[in-house]
Amino acid sequence: MPDKCSISIVIPVFNEGDSLDKLYCELSKVLEPFSVCEIIFVDDGSYDNSFTLLKKIADEDSRVAALRFFKNFGKADALSEGFKHTSGDIIITMDADLQDDPAEIPNFINKIQEGWDLVSGWKKNRKDPLSKRIPSRLFNFVTRLFTGVNIHDFNCGLKAYRRKVINAVDIYGGLHRYIPAMASQKGFSVTEIEVHHRPREFGQSKYGSNRFLHGFFDLFTMLFTSKYFNRPLHFFGFIGMVLFMAGLIISIYLTVGWFNGIWIGNRPIFFFGILLLIVGAQFFSLGLLGELFIKNTAKSEKKVYSVYTSHQN
């Protein structure tokens, strides 16, 4: 591969053997005008013939690299590993199931060249069943509300990034959904464009309904780690202070009553006030321990992967 590429395409793959030949043909046509480009396929532990096909494509086209995980780690880790092998100034991600249209790639590049740091796709006319569209709209509404990033489709596979964005954002677990939010919080400019979304031709979706529940947990993780990772006392201490003060107010109220001859030993509110004091103190202590941990512990170790690459950058 060239030492420096203008365009890098990163495509996670999981059991998409039926789609790969057609996807590669479409990509080849779209990328013809670009003299310097590369395509990074990341096989995320497929157990069909996906990697066999990817190796064949990579052996025949020097622009293509095939990476392989020997078990399924998930889309976020596949993207993260793919990003490490890119050399382009503009990095574009897309899914391998043919629902993302490669013909949209020039539109993303043009939008990036207007000056945006990250461009996310919006499947406005989404070709998926209602059972997927309704939860997705709820998910995107909640994410917009909590992150303040005004885009319609956080989970669209088609996105374009400047290299400085992928260098600054650390993704793992299910956080790939929130790359626009994480990029925005780091000061990068984020926008969206409408994209053509196609019906699935082969196989079935790899994501069940539980991904929406997981998505909300990941949202909390993203908000906490981005805002409070280096200051856990601000998060846990605030909760602890609110609970402790509520318990203290209840205790003062009961103490005044006790001095006026009101028996408090058998009142449920007495035990509730004590519980709030204890839990509040525990939350505050947890925040202090978090501060000590942050100050005395190096950055967490990265995951170690078994990776096959058919070409070396």
Mean pLDDT in residue range 22-30 = 93
Top-confidence residue, 171 or 208: 171
Q: 305: pLDDT confidence band, cut at 50, 70 and 90?
A: very low
Query: Cα–Cα distances in Å, from 52 out to 23, 68, 83, 221, 308?
Result: 15, 11, 22, 36, 12
pLDDT exceeds cutoff 60 at 57: yes
Report pLDDT for 313.
45
Closest CA to 135 of 177, 95, 175, 97: 177
Which amino acid, residue 2? Answer: P
Contact yes or no for 49/17 (Cβ under 8 A): yes
More confident residue, 110 or 221: 110
Lowest mean pLDDT among 2-11, 21-30, 204-213, 233-242: 204-213
Lowest mean pLDDT among 53-57, 94-98, 293-297, 298-302: 298-302
Residues 6+ apart with CB under 8 A from 81: 42, 67, 69, 305, 307
d(CA 4, CA 98): 28
Residue 100 three-state SS: strand
CB atoms within 10 A of CB 262: 10
- The answer to whether 11 touches 57, Cβ cutoff 8 Å, is no
In this predicted structure, the answer to whether residue 219 has a pLDDT above a threshold of 90 is no
pLDDT tens, residue by residue, 83-126: 999 989 999 999 999 999 999 999 999 999 999 999 999 998 88
pLDDT band at 304 (very low <50, low <70, confident <90, very high): very low
Give residue 228's pLDDT.
Answer: 66
Arithmetic mean of pLDDT, 241-261: 89
Question: What pLDDT does residue 297 have?
Answer: 56
pLDDT at residue 199, rounded to an integer: 84
In the chain, % of residues over pLDDT 90: 41
What is the pLDDT, as a whole number, of residue 33?
86
What is the band of 41 on the pLDDT scale with cuts at 50, 70, 90?
A: very high
3-state secondary structure of 64: strand
- According to DSSP, the residues that pair with 160 across neighbouring strands are 92, 119
pLDDT at 38 over 80: yes
Lowest mean pLDDT among 87-101, 167-181, 204-218, 229-243: 204-218
CA distance 212 to 242: 30
Residues 6+ apart with CB under 8 A from 32: none
- Strands (E) located in 80-151: 88-93, 118-122
Q: What is the mean pLDDT of residues 211-218?
A: 66
* Range ranked top by mean pLDDT from 33-37, 96-100, 208-212, 216-220: 96-100
pLDDT tier at 1 (50, 70, 90 boundaries)? very low
Query: Taking residues 133-150, what's their average pLDDT?
Result: 84
How deeply is 67 buried, as exposed, middle or buried, from its count of CB atoms within 10 A (0-12, 13-18, 19+)?
Answer: buried
Global pTM reads 0.72
Q: In residues, how long is the chain?
A: 313
